[in-house]
Structure 1
Amino acid sequence: MTSHVSGARSGATVRSSERAGLGSGWVVFAGVMMIFGGLMTLFAGIAAIAGDDLFVATRNYVFEFDLTGWGWIHLVMGVVITLAGAALFQGATWARVVGVGLAGLAMLANFLWIPYAPFWAFVLIAINAIVICALCTAPSPSER
Protein backbone atom coordinates (compact mmCIF):
# COMPACT_ATOMS: atom_id res chain seq x y z
CA MET A 1 0.00 0.00 0.00
CA THR A 2 2.84 2.33 0.78
CA SER A 3 4.42 1.81 -2.62
CA HIS A 4 1.11 2.73 -4.29
CA VAL A 5 0.94 6.06 -2.46
CA SER A 6 4.54 6.89 -3.27
CA GLY A 7 3.86 5.91 -6.89
CA ALA A 8 0.97 8.37 -7.03
CA ARG A 9 3.18 11.07 -5.62
CA SER A 10 5.94 10.37 -8.11
CA GLY A 11 3.32 10.52 -10.90
CA ALA A 12 2.23 13.93 -9.68
CA THR A 13 5.86 14.99 -9.56
CA VAL A 14 6.37 13.82 -13.13
CA ARG A 15 3.33 15.75 -14.31
CA SER A 16 4.47 18.96 -12.60
CA SER A 17 7.96 18.57 -14.04
CA GLU A 18 6.43 17.96 -17.49
CA ARG A 19 4.52 21.21 -17.13
CA ALA A 20 7.70 23.02 -16.16
CA GLY A 21 9.51 21.52 -19.14
CA LEU A 22 6.70 22.60 -21.45
CA GLY A 23 6.91 26.13 -20.12
CA SER A 24 10.64 26.36 -20.54
CA GLY A 25 10.28 24.74 -23.96
CA TRP A 26 7.90 27.48 -25.07
CA VAL A 27 10.27 30.17 -23.82
CA VAL A 28 13.21 28.54 -25.62
CA PHE A 29 11.09 28.23 -28.77
CA ALA A 30 10.10 31.91 -28.54
CA GLY A 31 13.75 32.89 -28.01
CA VAL A 32 14.89 30.96 -31.07
CA MET A 33 12.09 32.41 -33.17
CA MET A 34 12.84 35.92 -31.92
CA ILE A 35 16.51 35.56 -32.82
CA PHE A 36 15.59 34.15 -36.23
CA GLY A 37 12.97 36.84 -36.89
CA GLY A 38 15.26 39.57 -35.56
CA LEU A 39 18.07 38.52 -37.88
CA MET A 40 15.67 38.40 -40.84
CA THR A 41 14.46 41.90 -39.94
CA LEU A 42 18.05 43.10 -39.55
CA PHE A 43 19.03 41.75 -42.98
CA ALA A 44 15.93 43.30 -44.58
CA GLY A 45 16.98 46.62 -43.05
CA ILE A 46 20.51 46.28 -44.39
CA ALA A 47 19.16 45.45 -47.85
CA ALA A 48 16.84 48.46 -47.78
CA ILE A 49 19.65 50.81 -46.70
CA ALA A 50 22.19 49.38 -49.17
CA GLY A 51 20.17 49.72 -52.33
CA ASP A 52 16.86 51.36 -53.02
CA ASP A 53 16.75 49.53 -56.37
CA LEU A 54 16.39 46.16 -54.66
CA PHE A 55 12.78 46.69 -53.59
CA VAL A 56 9.83 47.55 -55.80
CA ALA A 57 7.00 49.33 -54.04
CA THR A 58 3.34 49.35 -54.97
CA ARG A 59 2.17 52.70 -56.22
CA ASN A 60 -0.32 54.77 -54.23
CA TYR A 61 0.03 52.66 -51.09
CA VAL A 62 -1.64 54.39 -48.16
CA PHE A 63 1.30 53.83 -45.80
CA GLU A 64 4.06 54.81 -48.22
CA PHE A 65 7.33 55.82 -46.52
CA ASP A 66 10.91 56.38 -47.59
CA LEU A 67 12.64 53.02 -48.12
CA THR A 68 15.91 54.11 -46.49
CA GLY A 69 14.01 55.25 -43.40
CA TRP A 70 12.27 51.88 -43.24
CA GLY A 71 15.66 50.25 -43.62
CA TRP A 72 16.98 52.00 -40.51
CA ILE A 73 13.82 51.18 -38.58
CA HIS A 74 14.15 47.50 -39.52
CA LEU A 75 17.87 47.47 -38.75
CA VAL A 76 17.41 48.86 -35.24
CA MET A 77 14.34 46.73 -34.58
CA GLY A 78 16.18 43.61 -35.78
CA VAL A 79 19.07 44.24 -33.38
CA VAL A 80 16.74 44.87 -30.42
CA ILE A 81 14.57 41.81 -31.17
CA THR A 82 17.65 39.59 -31.53
CA LEU A 83 19.05 40.82 -28.19
CA ALA A 84 15.69 40.33 -26.44
CA GLY A 85 15.48 36.82 -27.88
CA ALA A 86 18.94 36.07 -26.51
CA ALA A 87 17.88 37.46 -23.10
CA LEU A 88 15.06 34.91 -22.99
CA PHE A 89 17.71 32.19 -22.66
CA GLN A 90 18.85 33.83 -19.43
CA GLY A 91 15.38 33.35 -17.96
CA ALA A 92 14.77 37.08 -17.51
CA THR A 93 11.11 37.86 -16.85
CA TRP A 94 11.51 41.34 -18.31
CA ALA A 95 12.62 39.73 -21.59
CA ARG A 96 9.24 37.98 -21.89
CA VAL A 97 7.37 41.27 -21.45
CA VAL A 98 9.71 43.10 -23.82
CA GLY A 99 9.48 40.19 -26.26
CA VAL A 100 5.69 40.42 -26.44
CA GLY A 101 5.88 44.19 -26.96
CA LEU A 102 8.60 43.97 -29.59
CA ALA A 103 6.83 41.18 -31.45
CA GLY A 104 3.68 43.32 -31.55
CA LEU A 105 5.63 46.31 -32.86
CA ALA A 106 7.37 44.10 -35.41
CA MET A 107 4.00 42.81 -36.61
CA LEU A 108 2.85 46.39 -37.15
CA ALA A 109 6.10 47.37 -38.90
CA ASN A 110 5.92 44.33 -41.17
CA PHE A 111 2.30 45.09 -42.01
CA LEU A 112 3.48 48.50 -43.19
CA TRP A 113 6.40 46.79 -45.00
CA ILE A 114 4.07 44.65 -47.17
CA PRO A 115 4.40 46.74 -50.38
CA TYR A 116 8.20 46.43 -50.34
CA ALA A 117 8.59 42.70 -49.57
CA PRO A 118 5.17 41.02 -49.34
CA PHE A 119 6.29 37.42 -48.86
CA TRP A 120 8.84 38.16 -46.12
CA ALA A 121 6.48 40.61 -44.44
CA PHE A 122 3.83 37.91 -44.12
CA VAL A 123 6.42 35.36 -42.94
CA LEU A 124 7.66 37.76 -40.24
CA ILE A 125 4.10 38.62 -39.18
CA ALA A 126 3.43 34.89 -38.68
CA ILE A 127 6.71 34.39 -36.79
CA ASN A 128 5.93 37.29 -34.47
CA ALA A 129 2.40 36.00 -33.85
CA ILE A 130 3.86 32.62 -32.87
CA VAL A 131 6.36 34.35 -30.57
CA ILE A 132 3.55 36.23 -28.80
CA CYS A 133 1.57 33.02 -28.42
CA ALA A 134 4.59 31.13 -27.05
CA LEU A 135 5.54 33.86 -24.57
CA CYS A 136 1.96 34.31 -23.33
CA THR A 137 1.20 30.60 -22.88
CA ALA A 138 4.45 29.64 -21.15
CA PRO A 139 4.08 29.44 -17.36
CA SER A 140 5.87 32.04 -15.28
CA PRO A 141 9.00 31.00 -13.37
CA SER A 142 7.00 31.00 -10.12
CA GLU A 143 4.61 28.35 -11.55
CA ARG A 144 7.48 26.00 -12.35
Structure 2
Amino acid sequence: MSSDPFDGRPGGFEYSTKGALTDFTTMFAGVLMLVSASFEILQGLSAIANDDLYAAGSDYLYKLDMTVWGWVHLVVGVLSAAVAIGILAGQAWAWLCGIIVVSLSMLTNFAALPHYPLWSLVVIAFDALIIWALCLQLGHKRP
Protein backbone atom coordinates (compact mmCIF):
# COMPACT_ATOMS: atom_id res chain seq x y z
CA MET A 1 0.00 0.00 0.00
CA SER A 2 1.31 3.41 -0.95
CA SER A 3 1.96 5.97 1.76
CA ASP A 4 1.65 8.86 -0.72
CA PRO A 5 -1.66 10.69 -0.12
CA PHE A 6 -1.58 11.99 -3.70
CA ASP A 7 -1.24 8.68 -5.53
CA GLY A 8 -4.38 9.13 -7.61
CA ARG A 9 -7.04 7.91 -5.20
CA PRO A 10 -10.41 9.69 -5.40
CA GLY A 11 -10.55 12.63 -3.04
CA GLY A 12 -6.82 13.32 -3.33
CA PHE A 13 -5.21 16.58 -4.38
CA GLU A 14 -5.55 15.97 -8.09
CA TYR A 15 -9.35 15.79 -7.75
CA SER A 16 -9.69 19.02 -5.78
CA THR A 17 -10.51 22.48 -7.10
CA LYS A 18 -7.14 23.77 -5.91
CA GLY A 19 -5.44 20.94 -7.77
CA ALA A 20 -7.30 21.79 -10.97
CA LEU A 21 -6.44 25.49 -10.64
CA THR A 22 -2.79 24.68 -10.01
CA ASP A 23 -2.69 22.34 -13.00
CA PHE A 24 -4.31 25.01 -15.19
CA THR A 25 -1.85 27.71 -14.15
CA THR A 26 1.07 25.35 -14.79
CA MET A 27 -0.18 24.57 -18.30
CA PHE A 28 -0.89 28.28 -18.83
CA ALA A 29 2.70 29.10 -17.84
CA GLY A 30 4.08 26.42 -20.14
CA VAL A 31 2.09 27.54 -23.17
CA LEU A 32 2.75 31.22 -22.51
CA MET A 33 6.43 30.42 -22.06
CA LEU A 34 6.46 28.76 -25.51
CA VAL A 35 4.85 31.88 -27.00
CA SER A 36 7.36 34.12 -25.23
CA ALA A 37 10.22 31.88 -26.37
CA SER A 38 8.98 32.23 -29.94
CA PHE A 39 9.05 36.02 -29.55
CA GLU A 40 12.60 35.84 -28.22
CA ILE A 41 13.72 33.62 -31.10
CA LEU A 42 12.11 35.90 -33.68
CA GLN A 43 13.66 38.93 -32.02
CA GLY A 44 17.08 37.28 -32.03
CA LEU A 45 16.87 36.10 -35.62
CA SER A 46 15.80 39.51 -36.89
CA ALA A 47 18.64 41.23 -35.02
CA ILE A 48 21.15 38.71 -36.38
CA ALA A 49 19.85 38.99 -39.94
CA ASN A 50 19.69 42.79 -40.04
CA ASP A 51 21.37 44.56 -37.13
CA ASP A 52 20.76 47.98 -38.71
CA LEU A 53 17.04 47.46 -38.22
CA TYR A 54 17.32 47.98 -34.45
CA ALA A 55 20.34 50.24 -34.20
CA ALA A 56 18.80 53.28 -35.89
CA GLY A 57 18.23 56.28 -33.64
CA SER A 58 19.32 54.72 -30.39
CA ASP A 59 21.46 56.71 -27.99
CA TYR A 60 21.29 54.58 -24.88
CA LEU A 61 23.42 53.63 -21.92
CA TYR A 62 23.73 50.02 -23.05
CA LYS A 63 25.68 50.35 -26.29
CA LEU A 64 25.66 46.82 -27.62
CA ASP A 65 26.39 45.28 -30.97
CA MET A 66 22.93 44.25 -32.18
CA THR A 67 24.22 41.04 -33.77
CA VAL A 68 25.58 39.91 -30.40
CA TRP A 69 22.37 41.06 -28.75
CA GLY A 70 20.45 39.01 -31.30
CA TRP A 71 22.41 35.92 -30.29
CA VAL A 72 21.61 36.63 -26.63
CA HIS A 73 17.89 36.76 -27.45
CA LEU A 74 18.16 33.61 -29.53
CA VAL A 75 19.89 31.65 -26.75
CA VAL A 76 17.39 32.85 -24.12
CA GLY A 77 14.54 31.91 -26.48
CA VAL A 78 15.87 28.40 -27.07
CA LEU A 79 16.42 27.88 -23.33
CA SER A 80 12.89 29.14 -22.65
CA ALA A 81 11.44 26.74 -25.20
CA ALA A 82 13.31 23.78 -23.68
CA VAL A 83 12.15 24.64 -20.16
CA ALA A 84 8.58 25.23 -21.41
CA ILE A 85 8.54 21.71 -22.81
CA GLY A 86 9.68 20.48 -19.38
CA ILE A 87 6.85 22.42 -17.72
CA LEU A 88 4.27 21.01 -20.12
CA ALA A 89 5.66 17.52 -19.47
CA GLY A 90 5.05 18.05 -15.74
CA GLN A 91 8.69 18.06 -14.64
CA ALA A 92 9.14 19.71 -11.22
CA TRP A 93 12.69 20.90 -12.04
CA ALA A 94 11.26 23.00 -14.86
CA TRP A 95 9.28 25.27 -12.50
CA LEU A 96 12.34 26.77 -10.85
CA CYS A 97 14.35 26.73 -14.09
CA GLY A 98 11.42 28.49 -15.74
CA ILE A 99 11.50 31.30 -13.21
CA ILE A 100 15.25 31.72 -13.71
CA VAL A 101 15.13 31.66 -17.52
CA VAL A 102 12.11 33.96 -17.69
CA SER A 103 13.85 36.40 -15.32
CA LEU A 104 16.79 36.46 -17.76
CA SER A 105 14.32 37.12 -20.55
CA MET A 106 12.88 40.06 -18.63
CA LEU A 107 16.36 41.51 -18.11
CA THR A 108 17.34 41.16 -21.76
CA ASN A 109 14.11 42.79 -22.89
CA PHE A 110 14.53 45.60 -20.38
CA ALA A 111 17.99 46.33 -21.77
CA ALA A 112 16.52 46.28 -25.28
CA LEU A 113 13.68 48.74 -24.51
CA PRO A 114 15.09 51.69 -26.49
CA HIS A 115 15.58 49.60 -29.61
CA TYR A 116 12.04 48.17 -29.75
CA PRO A 117 9.98 49.45 -26.81
CA LEU A 118 6.51 48.08 -27.56
CA TRP A 119 7.77 44.60 -28.43
CA SER A 120 9.95 44.50 -25.31
CA LEU A 121 7.08 45.61 -23.07
CA VAL A 122 4.82 42.88 -24.47
CA VAL A 123 7.45 40.21 -23.81
CA ILE A 124 8.12 41.60 -20.31
CA ALA A 125 4.37 41.45 -19.55
CA PHE A 126 4.21 37.83 -20.76
CA ASP A 127 7.25 37.02 -18.64
CA ALA A 128 5.63 38.55 -15.55
CA LEU A 129 2.54 36.37 -16.07
CA ILE A 130 4.72 33.28 -16.46
CA ILE A 131 6.62 34.03 -13.25
CA TRP A 132 3.34 34.55 -11.40
CA ALA A 133 1.96 31.22 -12.62
CA LEU A 134 5.16 29.33 -11.80
CA CYS A 135 5.43 30.91 -8.35
CA LEU A 136 1.83 29.89 -7.69
CA GLN A 137 2.82 26.32 -8.53
CA LEU A 138 5.97 26.41 -6.38
CA GLY A 139 4.22 28.07 -3.45
CA HIS A 140 1.28 25.69 -3.42
CA LYS A 141 1.28 23.46 -0.38
CA ARG A 142 -0.48 20.18 -0.97
CA PRO A 143 -2.67 19.02 1.94
Larger Rg: 1
Deviation track 1:7-39 (CA, whole Å, cap 9, x = no partner) reads xxx9x8799611101001000000001000001
| Structure 2 counterpart of 1:107 | 106
**Percent sequence identity over aligned pairs:** 34
User: TM-score, length-normalised on structure 2?
Assistant: 0.84
Offset, 1:89: 1.2
Match of 2:51 in 1: 52
Task: State how far apart, in whole Å, the 2-side matches of 1:55 and 1:87 are.
Answer: 32
Q: Give the equivalent residue in structure 1 for 2:5.
A: none
Distance apart, 1:52 and its partner CA: 1.6
Change (3 A) 1:14 1:108: closer
- SS, match of residue 60 in structure 2: coil
- Residue type matched to 1:80 in 2? L
| Counterpart AA for 1:121 | S
- CA apart distance, 1:137: 1.0
DSSP-derived class of the 1:91 partner: coil
1:56, distance to aligned residue in structure 2 (A): 4.0
What root-mean-square deviation, in Å, do the aligned CA atoms of Structure 1 and Structure 2 show?
2.4
Which has the bigger relative contact order, CA under 8 A and spacing at least 6?
1
Is the alpha carbon distance of 1:36 and 1:88 closer, same or farther for their aligned partners in structure 2, counting shifts above 3 Å? same
2:132 aligned partner = 133
Q: 1:116 to 1:92 in 2, by over 3 A?
A: same
Alignment TM-score, normalising by the size of structure 1: 0.84
Q: Structure 2 vs 1, CA of residues 120 and 15 (structure 1 numbering), >3 Å: closer, same or farther?
A: same
Letter aligned with residue 72 of structure 1: W
Give the unaligned 5+ runs of structure 2: 1-9
What amino acid sits opposite 2:86 in the alignment?
A
CA change 1:108–1:57 in 2 (3 A) is farther
Cα 1:92/1:142, change in 2 over 3 Å: farther
Q: Distance in 2 between matches of 1:141 and 1:62?
A: 40
Unpaired segments ≥5 residues, structure 1: 1-9
